[in-house]
Amino acid sequence: MKSIYKIFTVTLILSVFASCSSDDDDGSTELMGENSVTLEFDNSVGSDDLLLATSSYTNSQNETLTITRLNYIVSNFSLTNDAGEVFTYDKDDSYFVTSEETGSTEVVLENIPAGTYVSVTFGIGVDQEKYLQGAEGQGDFLTVAEETNMMWSWQAGYKFLNFEGTFTSETVTEATDFKVHMGSHGSSLDNYKEVTLSLGTDALVSDEMSPIIHLVADANAILDGENKLSLTEQSVIMVSEEKSPKVALNTASMFSVDHVHNGSEHSH
C-alpha cells in the first residue's frame, strides 16, 4: 500500500507541474493586437557618421567629398514574420522622404499586426505603378517631395536620391560642386529598386511592444560601391542611361540593419 501511495503522490505532483509549465509557455509566447514599427535611418559615410558641410570624406579613388545634402525616398514597406508570412503596408501610405538636412530620418509604420518579424523589404524611389496614377493619385506625398527637393517636375518625375556637395581630387584642386540625382525617366530607364534586409534580432510587435529597427545608410556606397563612379570624370550625374542605373544599384546596397530595439511604445 505504501508503494502504491508513493507512486500516486509522485504522479500527481508531476501532473500538476506539467500543467503549470504548459500554462506558462502559452502565456509567454503569444503576441496579441497591433502596434507601430519605427525604422530609424542613420546616415553614415563608411564607418563615420555623416555630418553635412562640416566634415570631409575620402573615397577609394582619392576624391575628397564634403557632403551638403543626402535625401532619398523609401517606399512600399513589407515585413516578413518567422512563419514566412508577409505583411504589406498600405500602399497609399507607404512613401517617405528621409532627409539629413531636415533631420527627418524616421519612418513610422502604424497598425502592424502582432507577430515576430525577421526581415523588412522596402523600395528606393517611387514605382511606376504609383507614378502612373498621375499627380492626383500621389496624395500628400507630392507636396512632401516638392518641399524636400525630390522632384524635377511632374513631367520629369521624382528624384529618388538627391546627393550633393563639393569635392577635390588629385587633378581637381579647387572645391567643385557635385550633384547626383537619380530617378526613373520613362519605362526605358526605370531605376526603382527594392531591398530586403534580415533583421538579425527578431522585431516583436504586440499591444505592448513597439519595436525600433535601426538601419545604417552608407552614403559612400552611392559612388564607391560595386560600381565605381568618378566625380573627377563627371561631377553631375542626373539623366544618364549609362550611370544612373549604376547609381541605383549602388544606392540599393547602402542599407544594413545595425540593431533592433524591442520595447514598449515610444521607448528607445
Better pLDDT: 173 or 19? 173
Tens of pLDDT, residue by residue over 133-184, are 999 999 999 999 999 999 998 888 999 999 999 999 999 999 999 999 999 9
In whole angstroms, how far apart are CA 210 and each of 78, 143, 170, 196, 257?
Answer: 16, 29, 49, 21, 17
Q: Are 255 and 216 in contact (CB under 8 A)?
A: yes
Mean pLDDT score of the chain: 89
Short-list 165, 159, 168, 148, CA closest to 248 = 159
Residue type, 48: D
CA–CA separation, 223 vs 237, rounded Å? 10
| pLDDT attached to residue 154 | 83
- Contact of 247 with 229, CB cutoff 8 Å: yes
pLDDT tens-digit profile of 30-58? 889 999 999 999 999 999 999 999 999 99
Lowest mean pLDDT segment, chosen from 13-17, 71-75, 166-170: 13-17
Angle at 50 between CA 44 and CA 56, to 5 degrees: 120
Average pLDDT over residues 102-115: 96
Instruction: Say which DSSP state 229 is in.
Output: -
What number of CA atoms fall less than 13 Å from residue 160's CA on the CB side? 31
Cβ count near 155 (within 10 Å):
6
Distance between CA atoms of 190 and 199, rounded to whole angstroms? 28
DSSP, residue by residue, 164-229 = EEEEE-SS--S-EEEEEEE---SGGG---EEEEEEEEEEEEEBTTB--EEEEEEETTHHHHSSSB-
Q: At a CB cut-off of 8 Å and minimum separation 6, what does 47 contact?
A: none
Alpha helical stretches, state H, the chain: 2-29, 128-131, 141-147, 221-224, 244-252
CA–CA dist 38, 120 (Å, integer): 11
- Distance separating alpha carbons of residues 204 and 114, to the nearest angstrom: 7
> CA geometry: angle at 103 spanning 101 and 106, to 5°?
130
pTM of the model: 0.87
**pLDDT level of residue 6 (50, 70, 90 thresholds):** very low
Contact 207, 237 (CB under 8 A): no
Residue from 116, 99, 98 nearest 107 by CA: 98
pLDDT greater than 70 at residue 62: yes
C-alpha cell at 11: 504522479
> In the structure, what pLDDT confidence band is assigned to residue 4 with cuts at 50, 70 and 90?
very low
